Amino acid sequence: MHNEPQQPETVDDDHATSFERVSRRSFLTRVGAAGVAVGTGQLHTLARADSGSIGEDAASTSNTASESDSVHVQLNVNGTLHQLDIDPRTTLLDCLREHLHLTGTKKGCDHGQCGACTVHVDGRRVNSCLSLAATHEGEAVTTIEGIGRPGALHPMQAAFVEHDGFQCGYCTSGQIMSAVALLKEPYGHSDEDVKEAMSGNICRCGAYSNIVCAIQQVRRKA
């Protein structure tokens, strides 16, 4: 008998391809949404993503994604409450600079390596480029604008001016925010201890020795 050559099962293959493509898209949607939900506590975002399940056409999936793009966040920054609708992926750094226009906090590396973006969250120093804004509801965020101002400088700001603790000034906000937080941290009294405590703040101008002098002056008075 002549055996008919087996035809490729084109219909099933098409189904498989389509199913696989939709599955991959749904999978990515779910993974992305899960990351946001875990990071922000916005579990309703995950629930909404779950409702956009396999079988939806591309247009409706895309609409679901865009509708759930933003989350509502209430942020306490420098003692002022801000109501914001932001992309859940917005870093605290971008939120401060782009949404609240508090540009004293600087973006250097955007990778947690330079310390230029240092702010305080509930009094602890944080690299704001590594932290999602939506995770800070209910916490007190303090930026360089919140610790002093012209005519009423924080003692650490005044000491940086007095000791020339900067040259170009790009790293200075982060240096000062770290230095202020350091005042409440259990480091030793030596210059070496200060250098260790400030090792996360890079100064490309190399103003390190003056920075240490400024910090030590404030620590002694404190």
Q: List interacting residues with ligand FES (CB under 6 A).
A: 107-110, 112-117, 127, 129, 166-172, 203-205, 207
Nearer Cβ to ligand FES, position 56 or 145? 145
Nearer Cβ to ligand FES, position 37 or 211? 211
The number of residues in the chain equals: 222
Q: How far is the CB of 10 from ligand FES (least distance, A)?
A: 53
Gyration radius of the chain over CA positions:
25
- Pairing between β-strand 140-142 and β-strand 71-77 as defined by DSSP bridges: parallel
Burial pattern 145-170, b for ≥16 Cβ within 10 A else e, equals bbbbeeeeebbbbebbeebebbeeeb
Nearer Cβ to ligand FES, position 75 or 207? 207
Beta bridge partners of 83: 74
The two structure tokens encoding residue 152 = 């009423």
Residue with tokens 């005519």: 151
Q: How far is the CB of 112 from ligand FES (least distance, A)?
A: 5
Q: How far is the CB of 116 from ligand FES (least distance, A)?
A: 5
Q: How far is the CB of 172 from ligand FES (least distance, A)?
A: 6
Q: How far is the CB of 102 from ligand FES (least distance, A)?
A: 15
Give CA separation, 91 vs 39, 40, 63, 136, 157, in Å: 11, 12, 24, 10, 26
Nearer Cβ to ligand FES, position 122 or 164? 164
Nearer Cβ to ligand FES, position 52 or 115? 115
Nearer Cβ to ligand FES, position 29 or 201? 201
Rounded to 5 degrees, φ, ψ at 80 are: -110, 135
Q: How far is the CB of 78 from ligand FES (least distance, A)?
A: 19
Question: What distance lies between CA 96 and its chain's CA centroid?
Answer: 10
Sign of CA dihedral 201, 140, 101, 128: positive
